[in-house]
């Protein structure tokens, strides 16, 4: 992480910030094209990437859907930014060493701050102004390079009731302290928001299974960030939700999936709490007005019709300082009612080749 | 699969019959079965058709690879393979039991029943696997991979037609890998296991197996190209890129990185042309989403790089990719017709790179090295690279070549000697 003075905010970035603060006052297409033109001019690696995709200038693009998305691997390049960074968020993967880690280099975090808050409130706190937050993510102090830690640090400061805290330490989940916090909330008749990665939640669930512990207090909710990242089996979403609901004694409709990544400043959520009154239409993720998701043909990276599985790509105005259009390694399908459903990770290609037999032998 | 104990018992009976057969009978039988694989109505053509329909791999490519494999296993080549392996087996056996009597080479026999767990990345691996066992007079249980569910059964069919005695010592039994209920009884009842797979499998199976075994893990291959590529004729580019696209680059002898003298950017551009040409003759099989994603992710840093330091050449889809840079490392892209062209380091640096990665590198293909070729061969040999050959035929090792560079047949025969020595 590097600190320094924030640069003056260019017009395109200022427009993105205005859009995030007041989405009704602008058109996504126009703002996205202005941000793209700025990024093309100021982000040299991205400009070269666009040229390789046949986009030499901003005039070659007429709609946000034509803005070339970079694969997440592009974020390994520390030069993938439009201005010198004062804050760098790193991806968690360490396979292949430090050079293989993605890094989101931000000149300032105002867009990030502006973008996380409203969707968080809408999807996790539609019914109350604050809540006790039990965070199973790294705290901003212990992991200043974690974008999730940063967001949850901000969330605790903004919406956290007394008793909120971080319960994940390097290498361990503080299960006993978590149970004490739950008991304390229960005693006070207050709900909690448990926020964590799928892996951390699984570790706590395991600890719970071996002890005499009660359900979370009424009105509690869970935000899970999904994905075991290779540390266990990724389960179908419905199954994962059912397991969480059973382990913590809350209805499945109070388990809210969050989809975010270091490379994106905005987050997508399952609108199960926000749309509690609406008829359930199956789990899906929806984004804020300043971020659009499309599902692309894995082969050509061209958009696919709704219902066809492909690679998820996101166009995020909150990424105005770096690259707004990012194609992920996640497989998804666009939901007819809006948003997308995650189908899994598109990783493991290296398993072909001679190592294919590993899979053959172990899994058939 | 059928009841493992019953299958293995039948194989033991088959091995008993086979043990008494003379060399000529075995060699004639194998050669006759292999003859059935030749020609337009032969088994190779049938296997290529069926695999093409099942996997989407190019039928012409499959046919070429299978034909090449059959051609490499002429009767003469099989005889040479057996003769060389017997000498090597005697040496191996003597090293393990120096006090024992030197064996009579012609009487050497492998373990009675061998299980061959096949990889599916290259078609037709069942054929050399069974040849190895049958030449050792071992019966063999072949477990096909889901990537090639065809050739093992066809090979058995050809043996039944041409050499019933040999066919009696072969069984083909698919089962779900990792299904301990099926797998453990098989491994416990056979006398030897040969498995091809990745690092995880090697560790997992190595822990589980109490039966003598050998396990082959994943590796990559590279090319080393001298300056004269700039004058190389069209045929050289055709042949070099054919070795890249063969088996859709999934083989452990498929070149993934080419270290070239001169300008890697120019080389990459020329290589891209040649790869594009193969796309019309041997189209790449459809990519899985995982493969396509990995290709896009791999390309991205090259697509963003300053044009003086690195670059990427590719069509609008993921059928093939050439990237180039100056990095003397073994970083390879996904095995899906993705080649990295890198500036060739000095011979000394290359030797050190290979030595540091000797567990990862399967083969080194050499080209256009002129008077220095022998020195480069020596450098690769000093790094204990299992296969060193011309880049234009790197995927055509001789009959009997095994993934670790040692003779699998010799290992089987030596195992037989040791087993006999240890038996009461």
Q: Are strands A70-71 and A165-166 parallel, antiparallel or unpaired?
A: unpaired
Q: Give per-residue pLDDT as tens, A150-196.
A: 999 999 999 999 999 999 988 789 999 999 999 999 999 999 999 99
In chain B, positions 5-44, which contact chain A (CB-CB < 8 Å)? none
Q: Which of B219, B296, B336 sits opposite A354 (nearest CB)?
A: B219
In chain A, positions 319-358, which contact chain B (CB-CB < 8 Å)? 327, 329, 331, 346-358
Sign of the dihedral defined by the CA atoms of residues B164, B170, B174, B179, in that order: positive
Tokens in use for A168?
Answer: 């994940």
| A345 min Cα distance to partner chain B (Å) | 8
Q: Are strands A168-169 and A165-166 parallel, antiparallel or unpaired?
A: unpaired
| Nearest chain A alpha carbon to B296 | A71
In chain B, positions 314-333, which contact chain A (CB-CB < 8 Å)? 316-318
Give chain B positions within 8 Å (CB) of A362. Answer: 177-178, 200-201, 204
Q: Give per-residue pLDDT as tens, B401-416.
A: 887 778 899 999 998 8
Give the number of other CB atoms < 10 A from CB of residue B106: 10
CB contact under 8 A, A301 and B335: no
Q: What is the mean pLDDT of residues A102-128?
A: 95
Q: What is the mean pLDDT of residues B107-111?
A: 92
Give chain A positions within 8 Å (CB) of B118. Answer: 357
DSSP string, A176-206: HHHHHHHHHHHHHT--EEEEE-HHHHHHHHH
Q: Which of A53, A357, A364 sits opposite B179 (nearest CB)?
A: A364
Q: Are strands B213-216 and B192-196 parallel, antiparallel or unpaired?
A: parallel
Please, which pLDDT band fits residue A363 given cuts at 50, 70 and 90? very low
| Nearest chain B alpha carbon to A351 | B198
Tokens in use for B28?
Answer: 């004639």
Q: Are A124 and A193 in contact (CB under 8 A)?
A: yes
Tokens in use for B287?
Answer: 């990519």
Mutant choice from A95, A350, A354 vs B, greatest count of B C-beta within 10 A: A354
CB contact under 8 A, A354 and B179: no
| Nearest chain A alpha carbon to B176 | A364
Q: Are B49 and B59 in contact (CB under 8 A)?
A: yes
Statement: residue B229 has pLDDT above 50: yes
Q: What is the mean pLDDT of residues B117-133?
A: 93
| Mean pLDDT (chain A, rounded) | 88
In chain A, positions 26-65, which contact chain B (CB-CB < 8 Å)? 44-46, 48-49, 52-53
Secondary structure (3-state) at A144: coil
| A178 min Cα distance to partner chain B (Å) | 36
Statement: residue A364 has pLDDT above 60: no
Least confident segment among A83-97, B98-112, B126-140 = A83-97
Q: What's residue B27's pLDDT?
A: 98
Nearest to A110 by CA among A292, A288, A319: A319
**Cα separation, B50 vs A341, whole angstroms:** 36
Q: What is the mean pLDDT of residues A279-294?
A: 87
| B97 min Cα distance to partner chain A (Å) | 33
**Cα separation, B286 vs B254, whole angstroms:** 19
DSSP string, B119-169: -SSSTTTHHHHHHHHHHTT-EEEEE--TT--SHHHHHHHHHHHH-HHHHTT
**Cα separation, A11 vs B91, whole angstroms:** 78
Question: Cβ of B307 under 8 Å from any chain A Cβ?
Answer: yes
- Could you tell me which residue, B359 or B168, shows the higher pLDDT? B168
Q: Give per-residue pLDDT as tens, B273-288.
A: 999 999 999 999 999 9
Q: Which of A309, A354, A361 sits opposite B218 (nearest CB)?
A: A354
Give chain B positions within 8 Å (CB) of A361. Answer: 117, 177-178, 195, 197, 201, 204-205
Q: Give A345's strand partners.
A: A330
Statement: residue A355 has pLDDT above 50: no
Q: Give per-residue pLDDT as tens, B341-356.
A: 999 999 999 999 999 9
Statement: residue A358 has pLDDT above 50: no
Nearest to A161 by CA among A203, A113, A220: A220
Q: What is the mean pLDDT of residues B29-48?
A: 98
Nearest to B185 by CA among B200, B194, B175: B175
Q: Which of B198, B199, B303 sits opposite A48 (nearest CB)?
A: B303
Tokens in use for B190?
Answer: 């056979």
Please, which pLDDT band fits residue B104 given cuts at 50, 70 and 90? confident
**Cα separation, B226 vs B375, whole angstroms:** 12
Secondary structure (3-state) at B416: helix
**Cα separation, B81 vs B421, whole angstroms:** 24
Q: Are B336 and B314 in contact (CB under 8 A)?
A: no
| B10 min Cα distance to partner chain A (Å) | 24
Strands (E) located in chain A: 70-71, 87-90, 103-106, 132-136, 165-166, 168-169, 172-173, 192-196, 221-224, 255-259, 268-269, 291-296, 310-316, 325-334, 340-345
| A84 min Cα distance to partner chain B (Å) | 18
Question: Cβ of A97 under 8 Å from any chain B Cβ?
Answer: no
Please, which pLDDT band fits residue B113 given cuts at 50, 70 and 90? very high
| B206 min Cα distance to partner chain A (Å) | 12
| Mean pLDDT (chain B, rounded) | 93
Statement: residue B206 has pLDDT above 90: no
Q: What's residue B198's pLDDT?
A: 63
**Cα separation, A331 vs B313, whole angstroms:** 26
**Cα separation, A309 vs B288, whole angstroms:** 12
Give the number of other CB atoms < 10 A from CB of residue B108: 24
Tokens in use for A232?
Answer: 């266990």
Give the CB-side neighbour count of residue B301, counting CA atoms within 13 A: 19
Nearest to A140 by CA among A121, A166, A163, A161: A166
H or E stretch at B258: strand B255-260
| Nearest chain B alpha carbon to A343 | B289
Least confident segment among A20-24, B45-49, B210-214, B301-305 = B210-214
Q: Which of A73, A309, A358 sits opposite B301 (nearest CB)?
A: A73
| B25 min Cα distance to partner chain A (Å) | 34
* Alpha helix ranges (H) inside B173-332: 180-189, 199-208, 234-245, 264-281, 289-304
**Cα separation, B314 vs B333, whole angstroms:** 13
Mutant choice from A296, A327, A356, A363 vs B, greatest count of B C-beta within 10 A: A356
Task: Say what percent of chain B tops pLDDT 90.
Answer: 79
Nearest to A297 by CA among A313, A316, A284: A313
Taken as a whole, chain A contains a residue count of 364
**Cα separation, A81 vs B58, whole angstroms:** 43
**Cα separation, A178 vs A195, whole angstroms:** 12
Statement: residue B146 has pLDDT above 90: no
**Cα separation, A295 vs A339, whole angstroms:** 10
Q: What's residue A235's pLDDT?
A: 67
CB contact under 8 A, A356 and B250: yes
Statement: residue B83 has pLDDT above 90: yes
Please, which pLDDT band fits residue A93 given cuts at 50, 70 and 90? low
Give chain A positions within 8 Å (CB) of B293. Answer: 71, 298, 311, 329, 346-347, 349
Give chain B positions within 8 Å (CB) of A327. Answer: 296
Write the burial class of residue A2 (CB in 10 Å: 0-12 exposed, 13-18 middle, 19+ buried): exposed
Statement: residue A360 has pLDDT above 60: no
Q: What's residue B4's pLDDT?
A: 79
Q: Phi/psi of residue B367, each to 5°?
A: -155, 140
CB contact under 8 A, B204 and A362: yes
- Could you tell me which residue, A209 or A157, shows the higher pLDDT? A157
Nearest to B115 by CA among B11, B208, B14: B11
CB contact under 8 A, A349 and B295: yes
**Cα separation, B190 vs A81, whole angstroms:** 60
**Cα separation, A337 vs A279, whole angstroms:** 12
Q: Which of B121, B205, B287 sits opposite A356 (nearest CB)?
A: B121
Q: Which residues are within 8 A (CB) of B166 and not within 5 positions of it... i.e. 6 or more apart?
A: B18, B26, B29, B30, B33, B134, B159
| Nearest chain A alpha carbon to B174 | A364
Task: Write B403-408 long-range contacts (CB < 8 A, 24+).
Answer: B403/A354, B403/B196, B403/B216, B403/B219, B403/B252, B403/B362, B404/B214, B404/B216, B407/B81, B407/B84, B407/B85, B407/B88, B407/B89, B408/B132, B408/B194, B408/B214
* Alpha helix ranges (H) inside B190-263: 199-208, 234-245
Q: What's residue B51's pLDDT?
A: 97
Q: Which of B216, B217, B297 sits opposite A329 (nearest CB)?
A: B297
In chain B, positions 56-85, which contact chain A (CB-CB < 8 Å)? none
Q: What is the mean pLDDT of residues A46-72?
A: 96
Q: What is the DSSP letter of A296?
A: E
Q: What's residue A3's pLDDT?
A: 45
CB contact under 8 A, B251 and A354: yes
| A268 min Cα distance to partner chain B (Å) | 21
| Nearest chain B alpha carbon to A80 | B304
Q: What's residue B391's pLDDT?
A: 98
Q: Which residues are within 8 A (CB) of B87 and not within 5 positions of it... i.e. 6 or more apart?
A: B105
**Cα separation, A125 vs B142, whole angstroms:** 59
A175-188 vs A198-209: helix crossing angle, rounded to 10:
80
Q: Which of B178, B220, B335 sits opposite A362 (nearest CB)?
A: B178
Cα B252–chain centre separation: 6
Q: Are A111 and A320 in contact (CB under 8 A)?
A: yes
Q: What's residue A352's pLDDT?
A: 32
Give chain A positions within 8 Å (CB) of B403. Answer: 354
CB contact under 8 A, B290 and A346: yes
Least confident segment among A149-153, A342-346, B54-58 = A342-346
Tokens in use for A130?
Answer: 């604050």
C-alpha torsion B94→B97→B103→B106, nearest 10:
-70
Question: Cβ of A78 under 8 Å from any chain B Cβ?
Answer: no
CB contact under 8 A, B121 and A353: yes
Question: Cβ of B179 under 8 Å from any chain A Cβ?
Answer: yes
Q: What is the mean pLDDT of residues A351-358?
A: 31
| Nearest chain B alpha carbon to A348 | B290
């Amino acid at each position: 992480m590097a600190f320094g003075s924030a640069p003056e905010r260019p017009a395109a970035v200022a427009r993105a910030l205005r859009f995030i603060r007041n989405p009704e006052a602008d058109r996504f297409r126009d703002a996205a094209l202005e941000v793209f033109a700025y990024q093309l001019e100021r982000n040299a690696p991205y400009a070269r990437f666009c040229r390789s995709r046949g986009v030499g200038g901003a005039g070659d693009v007429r709609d946000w859907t034509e803005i070339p998305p970079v694969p997440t691997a592009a974020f390994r390049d520390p030069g993938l930014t439009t201005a010198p960074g004062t804050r760098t968020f790193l991806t968690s993967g360490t396979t292949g060493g430090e050079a293989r880690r993605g890094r989101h280099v931000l000149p300032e975090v105002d867009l990030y701050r502006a973008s996380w808050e409203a969707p968080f409130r809408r999807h996790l706190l539609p019914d109350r102004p604050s809540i006790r937050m039990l965070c199973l993510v790294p705290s901003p102090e212990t992991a200043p390079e974690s974008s999730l830690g940063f967001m949850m640090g901000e969330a605790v400061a903004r919406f956290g009731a007394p008793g909120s805290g971080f319960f994940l330490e390097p290498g361990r989940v503080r299960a006993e302290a978590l149970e004490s916090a739950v008991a304390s909330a229960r005693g006070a008749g207050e709900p909690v928001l448990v926020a964590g990665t799928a892996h951390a939640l699984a570790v706590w669930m395991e600890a719970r299974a071996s002890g005499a512990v009660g359900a979370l207090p009424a009105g509690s909710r869970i935000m899970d960030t999904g994905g075991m990242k290779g540390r266990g089996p990724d389960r179908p979403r419905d199954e994962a939700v059912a397991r969480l609901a059973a382990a913590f004694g809350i209805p499945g409709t109070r388990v809210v999936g969050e989809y975010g990544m270091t490379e994106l400043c905005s987050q997508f959520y399952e609108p199960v709490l926000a749309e509690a009154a609406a008829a359930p239409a199956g789990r899906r993720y929806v984004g804020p007005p300043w971020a659009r998701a499309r599902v692309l043909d894995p082969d050509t990276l061209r958009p696919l019709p709704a219902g066809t599985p492909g690679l998820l790509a996101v166009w995020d105005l909150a990424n105005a300082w770096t690259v707004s259009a990012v194609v992920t390694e996640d497989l998804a399908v666009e939901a007819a009612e809006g948003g997308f459903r995650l189908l899994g990770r598109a990783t493991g290609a290296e398993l072909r080749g001679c190592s294919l037999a590993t899979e053959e032998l172990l899994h058939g | 699969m059928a009841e493992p104990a019953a299958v293995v018992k039948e194989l033991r009976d088959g091995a008993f019959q086979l043990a008494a057969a003379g060399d000529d009978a075995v060699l004639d039988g194998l050669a006759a079965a292999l003859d059935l694989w030749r020609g337009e109505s032969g088994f190779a053509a049938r296997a290529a058709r069926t695999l093409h329909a099942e996997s989407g791999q190019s039928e012409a490519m499959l046919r070429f690879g299978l034909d090449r494999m059959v051609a490499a296993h002429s009767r003469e080549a099989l005889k040479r393979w057996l003769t060389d392996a017997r000498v090597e087996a005697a040496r191996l056996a003597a090293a393990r039991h120096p006090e024992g009597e030197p064996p009579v080479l012609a009487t050497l026999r492998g373990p009675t029943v061998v299980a061959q767990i096949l990889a599916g990345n290259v078609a037709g691996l069942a054929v050399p696997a069974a040849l190895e066992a049958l030449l050792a007079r071992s019966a063999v249980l072949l477990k096909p991979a889901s990537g090639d569910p065809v050739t093992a059964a066809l090979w058995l069919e050809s043996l039944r037609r041409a050499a019933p005695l040999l066919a009696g010592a072969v069984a083909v039994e698919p089962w779900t890998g990792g299904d301990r209920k099926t797998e453990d009884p098989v491994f416990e009842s056979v006398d030897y296991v040969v498995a091809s797979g990745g690092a995880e499998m090697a560790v997992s199976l190595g822990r589980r197996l109490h039966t003598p075994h050998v396990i082959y893990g994943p590796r990559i291959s590279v090319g080393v190209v001298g300056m004269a590529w700039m004058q190389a004729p069209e045929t050289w580019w055709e042949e070099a890129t054919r070795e890249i696209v063969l088996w859709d680059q999934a083989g452990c002898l498929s070149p993934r990185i080419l270290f070239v003298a001169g300008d890697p950017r120019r080389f990459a551009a020329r290589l891209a042309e040649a790869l594009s040409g193969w796309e019309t003759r041997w189209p790449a099989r459809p990519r899985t989403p995982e493969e396509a994603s990995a290709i896009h992710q791999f390309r991205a840093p090259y697509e963003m790089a300053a044009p003086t330091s690195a670059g990427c050449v590719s069509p609008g889809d993921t059928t093939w990719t050439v990237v180039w840079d100056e990095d003397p490392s073994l970083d390879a892209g996904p095995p899906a017709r993705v080649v990295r062209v890198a500036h060739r380091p000095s011979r000394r640096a290359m030797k050190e790179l290979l030595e540091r990665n000797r567990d990862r590198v399967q083969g080194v293909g050499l080209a256009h090295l002129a008077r220095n070729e022998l020195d480069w061969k020596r450098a690769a040999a000093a790094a204990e690279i299992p296969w060193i050959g011309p880049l234009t035929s790197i995927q055509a090792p001789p009959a009997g070549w095994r993934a670790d560079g040692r003779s699998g047949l010799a290992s089987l025969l030596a195992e037989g000697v040791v087993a006999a020595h240890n038996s009461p």
